[in-house]
Structure 1
Amino acid sequence: MSKVLIIGAGGVGSVVAQKCAASPEVFSEIMLASRTKSKCDAIAALIKNRTIQTAQVDADSVPELVALFNEFQPELVINVALPYQDLTIMDACLETGVNYLDTANYEPKDEAKFEYSWQWAYQEKFKEKGLTAILGCGFDPGVTSIYTAYAAKHHFDEIHYLDIVDCNAGDHGKAFATNFNPEINIREVTQKGRYWENGQWVETQPHEIKQALNYPNIGPKNSYVIYHEELESLVKNFPTLKRARFWMTFGDEYLTHLRVIQNIGMASIEPILYKGVEIVPLQFLKETLPKPEELADGYTGETSIGCRIKGIKDGQEKTYYVWNNCKHQDAFEETSSQGVSFTTGVPAMLGAMMFLTGKWRKPGVYNVEEFNPDPFMELIGQYGLPWQEEINGDLEL
């Protein structure tokens, strides 16, 4: 029986809160906090079978976080706020003796650069306090890293080639919208691509490498190599990797909108003066776009995310493909959320469960692939994200 504090009241926060509430045997008390308490109250109203507490907190403020942690005294904080706020939340955890879990790595507000170095630097601090910090427990990063760890444990002596493939074949009916926070999403997909090959990073222009990949139950979709954060930890934790890439699908219309947004300067994170007020163009654009949680009702189609792996087992070459498909309609029926929020929120809840039940608990700062994948893989299907696997099939990559 354990108390958890969830920070962040967007689409993912809603899924995490609902999923935690559905397992009272593990999550004895739940508090949901964000900058806007009314958002927390709206999510709490979705939960019919039990009451969860709500609170207002500015996650950029360590003193505010510390005051809230001391008042509620959670055993674990589930951070599904913005990546900019990872370090302030981790600082507050250290000050109050609370364990930590997030779904996305830190990035500074003034630079579109996300990497784990800032959070990995907390390793000794968390160890000294006897606290656990679990990094990147969404779907990608998160489940994709756990899939890789599971493959390494059960199917390979050496993993040589890893392709993480992320397809959203859904239709939300909007001309242009992002499936999670628009500011974070646009910053991510407009960066240069990067993949790991032969012991070094290879940089590409945005969307330079394109291939039509076949996805289960969906078919061929144009997929592009982009840089994604789990690559950084996976190449560190699986040193036999000769190449590791991340592929994401984008429709032509989405890419056209993205080019226009960039060409007219609306993707810029450099502040400008407008009528005497300093604004950041991308933050202004975010306010004009549909909110990700507003896309859920009527969202059709499904996602397909998985890992395509090649390596050696008992001296023989082997291929392995493990994946999940998630229908947006199913996610909406269960949690009033769309599939991207659902596929991120469920693993965050399950990672918290792994910690609270003692299966993933060791002092320090760790990425999810550094824990035993088996108990997570055993349960994730029961919570709405069943996985499938194909051994020695044609991976086409």
Structure 2
Amino acid sequence: MTCERAYHTASLLKNGNVLVAGGDGGGTIIYNTAEIYNSSAGTWVKTGNMIYPREGHTASVLPNGLVLVAGGGNNEAPTLNTAELYNPSTGNWTKTGNMTYGRAMYTASVLKDGKVLVVGGFSSNGSTLNPTEIYDPSTGKWTLTGNLNVARYEHTASVLNDGSVLVIGGENDITEYSPVYTIELYNSSTGKWTIQESLNKPRIYQSTCVLKNGKVLVIGGQSGIKDLKSTELYDPSTGHWTITGNLHHPRSYSTACLLNDGRVLTIGGALFESDPLISAELYDPLTGNWTVVEDLNSARQDHTSSVLHNGQVLVTGGFGPFIQSLAELFDPSTDLSTTVIDIKHKEGSQPISEITNSKITLARERNRSKLR
């Protein structure tokens, strides 16, 4: 990439390129810059700057091809309620309607009707949010929808085949360890949330992936201070959870992506009070087993992973242990090779233990402390 980033977003555009926006550059640096990975040429180019610097935000590719970026925080505001749209045809950003609540470390999900559901996060006064909102691309406006039963941030949200949204994990209080083990399901027809059956092993900081058969795979995470190897499957037709194969290495804060052949790749992450991970593993839904693949070129946490149109997986940024400008490609056709793209490392980069930028405040500092 053209600069090092963590807590950024990466969005696969309709043309097959990837838009990377915002993020943490270390110290007091929070970016408003954005760049494009050209998947045909294998190169990075700068594109238009966002209106606001932000990290801990979300980015959603809308059915019309525009990218909605909302929320997060910067040095001027711990949380933002602003939202903006990126037009890949022009490379420019334009303002759109503001959210009702400023929020960071929340989730955004594109629903079947093209609207965007945002869930949870924490607000500028440090409170954790249970109000949820819907963005309508046809009007550019936000409207409140049903409240979560339990407020949370740093959870996961998965859009199911029937259009409902499954929310798992997170924490409830940014000042202390406060895991949320309640699982909730959003009905996009009624706007209501209902509590679902608990996991066999309650967890937070897990990654999730919706499989081609419609089931939801939940990977690793933490239970108390214990990092988990266990993985589970949620069946939307029954609402029940079943245990599936264990990871070879426990991990939290990893990414997970569905490959074109139906397997799931989980990448990096971290362990409790330990360094970021360099390993990656593949899950085969046909066998329920995990296979270790070749290590990344650099360990990383708070990175992104995107499945390109050619089936390869682009991994960008994160901490490992320095903030990374390094990007890598994983090729599922070999299950072995990762390719380094545009390696850069600024001499002024800071290790995680030295990063004190705090406008995302207590929540992110407490999470980073687990890596020291």
How high is the TM-score relative to the length of structure 2?
0.29
Considering Cα pairs closer than 8 Å and 6+ residues apart, tell me whether 1 or 2 has the greater RCO.
Answer: 1
Give the TM-score taking structure 1 as reference length: 0.27
More helix by percentage: 1
Answer with 1 or 2: which has the greater Rg: 1
More strand by share: 2
